[in-house]
Amino acid sequence: MPRSHPFFTLAEWIAVKDDPAAMAAARQRLAALIFGEGGLEQELAGWTREQIERRADLISTSAEEPTNEKEPEPEPNPKALTTVGVYRSVAKTMGLKKKDVQTAVEGFLGLAAAQLKTKGTFKIAGMLNLKLKVKPSMPARRGVHPFTKERCEFKARPASKTVKAFPTKMFKAVVL
Distance separating alpha carbons of residues 49 and 27, to the nearest angstrom: 10
Q: Which amino acid is at 61?
A: T
pLDDT tens-place string over residues 5-20 = 444 555 565 666 667 7
Same domain, 127 and 114: no
Q: Please indicate, yes or no, if residue 4 is contained in any of the structural domains.
A: no
Same domain, 128 and 170: yes
C-alpha distances in angstroms, 56 versus 33, 46, 81? 10, 16, 48
C-alpha distances in angstroms, 160 versus 18, 133, 156? 77, 8, 12
C-alpha distances in angstroms, 111 versus 49, 86, 118, 163? 71, 19, 11, 15
Cβ(160)–Cβ(138) under 8 Å? no
Same domain, 106 and 133: no
Compute and round to an integer the Cα radius of gyration of the chain: 35
Cβ(28)–Cβ(41) under 8 Å? yes
Same domain, 17 and 51: yes
Q: Please indicate, yes or no, if residue 68 is contained in any of the structural domains.
A: no
Question: Taking the alpha carbons of 164, 169, 172, 176 in that order, is the dihedral positive or negative?
Answer: positive
Same domain, 135 and 175: yes
54 lies in which domain range? 10-62
Number of structural domains in the chain = 3
Average pLDDT, the chain: 78
Same domain, 138 and 159: yes
Same domain, 130 and 111: no
pLDDT tens-place string over residues 38-96 = 555 555 566 666 776 777 666 555 545 555 566 666 566 677 888 888 899 889 988 99
pLDDT tens-place string over residues 62-74 = 545 555 566 666 5
Same domain, 103 and 129: no
Q: Please indicate, yes or no, if residue 108 is contained in any of the structural domains.
A: yes
C-alpha distances in angstroms, 8 versus 34, 47, 97, 118? 12, 17, 62, 76
Same domain, 124 and 99: no
Q: Please indicate, yes or no, if residue 74 is contained in any of the structural domains.
A: no
Q: Please indicate, yes or no, if residue 156 is contained in any of the structural domains.
A: yes
Distance separating alpha carbons of residues 63 and 4, to the nearest angstrom: 10
Same domain, 105 and 133: no
Q: Which amino acid is at 53?
A: E
